[in-house]
Every structure is written in structure tokens, then in C-alpha cells.
Structure 1
Amino acid sequence: MFTICALYQFVRLDDFETFRTPLRELMVELEVKGTILLALEGLNGTISGSKASIDGVIQFLQDDGRFDNLEIKFSHSETTPFKRLKVKLKKEIVTLGVEHIDPLSSVGTYVNPQDWNALISDPDVV
């Protein structure tokens, strides 16, 4: 059984170019496949491997200290969905196509799920 893990976090990674090497080396060692995108604005990717291997990658990221709010979703498969590993350096981790937007500073207000219906029903909310 393979664990599939989608993960991302917007976080300033001034060293994203050099961070690539230790992350990739660990993923090769753990036999993890998939794609990770690294950029100044953070990390985004989907990877697969054994549960222990995926746990190892997540632990590595959390031990770094910058990935305290890593968004993670899991699924499972009898076969691996990826044939190889890619750790790519990009301008953006999510293509917005808009110059000079900083997703680290241009954020909205978090709404708790239990407050959502009341918020969108409020006539004073656009």
C-alpha cells in the first residue's frame, strides 16, 4: 500500500535553492516519488511512498521549523501514482500569473467552518 501526500505551505524560503539538495537527498534515500515545488514563497507538492517514508519527509520539514502550518492531505493506493522524483525550483508554488503579489502578506481573514453560513448570509458582507 502506498501513501499519497499532498502538501503545501506559503512561507518565506530565502534559501529555497539550497534547501532543495537536502530535501531531495532525503526523498531519494526514502524512495519517495512525486513532485515538490520550491519557491521564495514556500513549498507545494504531491508525493508517494510507504507510510514510514512519507512520515520521514513530513518530519524533516517540520523539524526545519519553518513548516509549522504545513497543510497535508493523505490518500492511499495499491500502486504508486508517480514514476520518478522531481524537486523543482519555481517563481511561484501556485501559479497566479500576477506580478508583484505576495501570498505571504496578501491574505484574508480566516473563518471557522461553523461561522461560514452566517457570514455568507449576512447582507452586509460582499
Structure 2
Amino acid sequence: MSRIRAAFWDPAGDRYSLPTYPWRMAPPHLLTRRQLTAKGLRPGGQGVQAQVLWRSRRYRTPGGIRAAYLYDVRFALPKRTATARQRIALGRANAARRTCPECLRDVGYVLPRHLGTCLDCAQELAA
């Protein structure tokens, strides 16, 4: 193991107060949020279980060290999906944001908040 990797090897969490692993050396049951999402899971209320640290010249972080937080897949829960009722309510809310209060038609885009009306009505009021 190289010196850089050895600097980030702390599975007990003594040095970094959190179990820490070098790049690509974390146990297979610890995954990032993106990896959990790819498997259709979410952290499910658990805190960060460990971290992966690595050096990067690309990002201007202090010392050039980047971190990725890991969650235990054994405690992860399935991702939530919207119910049919929630999808209908969201559709109604979006339709209300597209309806002009002056001409009462669905204009097909979300009304600009600074105008409060559709672009046609705003142009007529300005003229």
C-alpha cells in the first residue's frame, strides 16, 4: 500500500473520528448515496457510517483532499415512490401555475411571478 493510501487507512476511526478508507478499498457493504440510488435504495435515516478519502489536484479543497461518505447497505431502505394521489395533486398544482388569472386559460408554461399574468395579458396591460 502506498504512503498516500496508508495515510487514509483508518478502519477503526481513531484518526478521523469516522472509519476511513482509501479510494477503492472500502468494504463491499458500504456504498455512497449514488450507489444506493442505482440499486433502488436510500439511506433510510442512518447516519454516515464511513468515508473514503483521496487526494485530488483538480479541486481546490484544503490540502487537495476529497471525501465521499458511505452508508451501510444492510440498513438501507427501498426508495419511496409517489402515490397516485400525490401525482394527481402535483399535476393540479402545476396546472394552477400555468392558468392566467386574467384570461383564465392554460397558457402551457408557468406564469412569470413578477408579472402575475400570461405574456399576452401583460403586454396588453402595458400598452
Q: TM-score normalised to the size of structure 2?
A: 0.22
Task: Name the one with the larger strand percent.
Answer: 1
